[in-house]
């Protein structure tokens, strides 16, 4: 974790990237600085945090969309006896990826 933090801080200091909110919280705790003081004067960082929070709302819609595709594939298989295995595998992979992000976020929220 310390290595990730040092990389995030180095990128932030050199204007090559910004830490995510989880790492900002850790940085604020380690250095005894409020999040407000870390974020307040960095306009680009504020915008990144706002965009990150907005993008998380899309994960639920993407999960619902992928489930709808799986239902469609199942319907197509049972009604027309054609199984689109490649499409199904790709959809299941993306659903797993999205669910992993969604579950990881929920676990992190429950820990705090």
Shared domain for 32 and 68, answered yes or no, is no
Matching residue, tokens 């299941």:
92
By residue range, what is the domain housing residue 112?
A: 54-112
CA of 60: how far to CAs of 77, 96, 98, 101, in Å? 26, 13, 8, 10
Query: pTM higher than 0.75, yes or no?
Result: no
Shared domain for 65 and 108, answered yes or no, is yes
CA of 104: how far to CAs of 22, 77, 98, 109, in Å? 12, 32, 10, 9
* pLDDT on residue 98: 87
Q: In this predicted model, what pLDDT tens digit does every residue of 92-103 receive, in sequence order? A: 999 998 888 877
Q: Which two tokens stand for residue 112?
A: 């705090």
Residue pair 1/20 in contact by the 8 Å Cβ criterion: no
In this prediction, residues 70-82 reach a mean pLDDT of: 93
Q: Which two tokens stand for residue 103?
A: 């579950």
The answer to the question of residue 47 being in a domain is: no
């Amino acid at each position: 974790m310390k290595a990730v933090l040092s990389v995030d801080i180095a990128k932030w200091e050199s204007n090559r990237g910004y830490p995510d909110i989880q790492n900002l919280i850790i940085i604020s705790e380690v250095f005894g600085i409020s999040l407000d003081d870390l974020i307040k004067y960095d306009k680009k960082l504020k915008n990144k945090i706002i965009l990150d929070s907005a993008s998380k709302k899309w994960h639920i819609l993407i999960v619902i969309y992928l489930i709808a595709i799986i239902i469609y594939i199942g319907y197509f298989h049972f009604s027309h006896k054609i199984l689109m295995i490649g499409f199904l595998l790709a959809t299941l992979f993306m659903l797993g990826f999205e669910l992993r992000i969604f579950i990881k976020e929920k676990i992190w929220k429950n820990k705090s």
